[in-house]
Amino acid sequence: MDITGVKLRCSQQVYYVYTNNLFVRRNSLCVVETEHGIDIGRVFKKLTSLPDESIKVGGKLLRLATQDDLNLLPQIEDLEDRAFAVCKEKIIEKKLEMKLVMVKSLFDKTKIIFYFVADGRIDFRELVRDLAAVFRTRIEMRQI
């Protein structure tokens, strides 16, 4: 069974996915489904077996990226930029002691993930509700 290591957009982590008998080359753009959802990534390496039992395969390669997929990337990046600006404004408005670092939207726009740093625990439930109302999608906050 062929396995491919894929680096997703905005991530340096390699996700190992089943290739489903698709022919892929290194650096090819592809659409993958991971446990987090559907995203686009770049083929990092191909494997025929896992060299280390600690490496887990967590998804599947759906297809090579089409021109339509590539045309969606600027829209997704615009959504991420807008989400960053809106979230930053809401953080200031609500006087939350957190610093927004990065925003990432899944390729299928089913979820937007907000990465932030904070010294302690933050009650951001109201912030999440506001963001969900604005963007009409699932919102996830990740403290890094």
Cα–Cα separations (whole angstroms), residue 100 to 17, 62, 143:
30, 32, 9
Residue 97 and residue 52 share a domain: no
Q: Is residue 132 domain-shared with residue 93, that is, in the same domain?
A: yes
Show pLDDT as tens, one digit a residue, over the chain (144 residues): 688 889 988 777 888 888 878 888 888 999 999 888 899 999 988 776 666 776 777 788 999 999 999 999 999 999 999 999 999 999 999 999 999 999 999 998 999 999 999 998 989 999 999 999 999 999 999 998
Site of tokens 């021109």: 67
Query: Do both 88 and 130 map to the same domain?
Result: yes
Q: How many domains does the chain have?
A: 2
Q: Answer with the one of 48, 65, 82 that is the final residue of a domain.
A: 65
Q: Where are the alpha helices (DSSP H) in the chain?
A: 67-93, 125-135
94: left (phi over 0), alpha (psi -120 to 50) or beta: alpha
DSSP 110-137: SEEEEEEE-SS----HHHHHHHHHHH-S
Same domain, 137 and 75: yes
Q: Are residues 59 and 96 in the same domain?
A: no
Q: Which of 10, 8, 53, 60 is nearest to 34 (CA)?
A: 60
Do 90 and 47 fall into the same domain?
no
Whether residue 115 sits in one domain with residue 88? yes
The predicted pLDDT at position 75 comes to: 95
Q: What range does the domain containing 122 cover?
A: 70-143
Q: How far is CA 130 from CA 32, 73, 102, 119, in A?
A: 30, 25, 18, 23
**pLDDT reported for residue 45:** 81
Which of 65, 83, 99 finishes a domain?
A: 65
* Amino acid 1: pLDDT: 63
pLDDT of 34 reads: 85
pLDDT of the residue at 51: 67
